[in-house]
Amino acid sequence: MSIARELLSGETRSIRYCLDQKKFVCDTREECMTDRDDDPGRDGRDSVSIALEAGLALYNEGEYHAAHAPLESVWLGLDRDSDTARLLQGMIQLTAAVFHAQSRNWSGATGLASSGREYLEHPLEDRGVDVATARRYLDTVRVDPEVIERASPPRLSYRGTLPAAKSLSPGAVGPAAEALAEEYPRYDADAVADAIRYAGEQRGTGRTTFLSLLDDFVSNAADRDLIHQRLVGQVDLRRREDDDVEGLFEWRWHSPAGRSSPGFRRYIPSHSVPVVETFPRETARKTEPAINPRSDGRNNHAATATTRTTQQERAEETALTHTRGFLQATRGECLGAWPPR
């Protein structure tokens, strides 16, 4: 079905220009109501595995406070009595205890170490996390929080390896980047969130611009500020591209009498092009002029039919001209016959 036919079909909700596919696509009403999963790292793993990898990588890099964010975002949606919820909450308490010990808040550190140790008690499904090392360190902090000033906390393994910022899977890059952006006020968290969404849109297209920038942002702490500037620049460029095509075509139901009337559709293009109203033939009788009582009835009906046909064809031709011009100007596909048959 051509774009023109989609435009007038009752199923079309909106038209958008796909920047990656370089063409216009029509969204149906159902598609517009469907939430998209824009996670750049959809790689078949569940959210808990991704959160554990991202959180433990940040922890192992010394980002103890930021490490809690990926874990907490998943823990909030879990049943509090499940083993997975207990595991995540225990790890969250561990990161918080280390953070408070670094800040010399000894009472806070010992209290969190005690509660964290309780969450990690046996029996517990560890999901590949080195829980034994976490338990031992929590026991140490509970009785001697100043240990943090004598030695760094032990690194924790996950599924036999030590998660690190430089070796994150694509799925864990987004949560880690988002946590770092929210941790430091100098970073634009909204831009990072948009970059994660754009990376998801690029998935499967062969383009990795945003995923690569996010990966560098997480893994390269020395140049993170410079990488952040580049990332924000790319996000701003993409936002402007989206703004150029957003709202290019918009349908609104319109009734001149102010009543709900599906027979009247208003075509509202952007870029200051005049509004064109189209009136389907089945409802064109609403535009008929009043009957002249001094004229012959048959002639009056013939004149009305002629007027109706002329108005309809003129409106359709004008709308077609504007629509074709917009699509061709933005490298869209050519329109088919108007009106659709």
pLDDT, residue 310, reads 66
pLDDT, residue 246, reads 64
Query: Is domain 47-240 classified as CATH 3.20.20.140?
Result: no
pLDDT, residue 37, reads 42
DSSP β-ladder status, 12-18 and 251-253:
unpaired
What SS3 state is found at 267?
Answer: strand
pLDDT, mean of each 10-residue run, the chain (341 residues): 42 44 45 39 73 97 97 94 94 97 95 96 89 96 96 95 95 96 97 96 92 97 97 95 68 45 43 42 44 49 54 65 55 40 41
Contacts of 93 (CB under 8 A, 6+ apart): 112, 113, 115, 116, 119, 138
Instruction: Pull the structure tokens for residue 298.
Output: 């048959």
pLDDT, residue 324, reads 58
pLDDT, residue 45, reads 72
Cα torsion 159, 163, 168, 173 to 10°: value is 110
Phi-psi label, residue 69: left if phi above 0, alpha if psi -120 to 50, beta otherwise? alpha
CA separation for the pair 9, 2 (Å, rounded):
11
- Domain ranges across the chain: 3-34+249-329, 47-240
DSSP β-ladder status, 276-278 and 251-253:
unpaired
Contact 7, 323 (CB under 8 A): yes
Omega before residue 123 within 30° of 0, cis:
yes
pLDDT, residue 315, reads 65
pLDDT, residue 122, reads 80
The pTM (predicted TM-score) of the whole model is 0.63
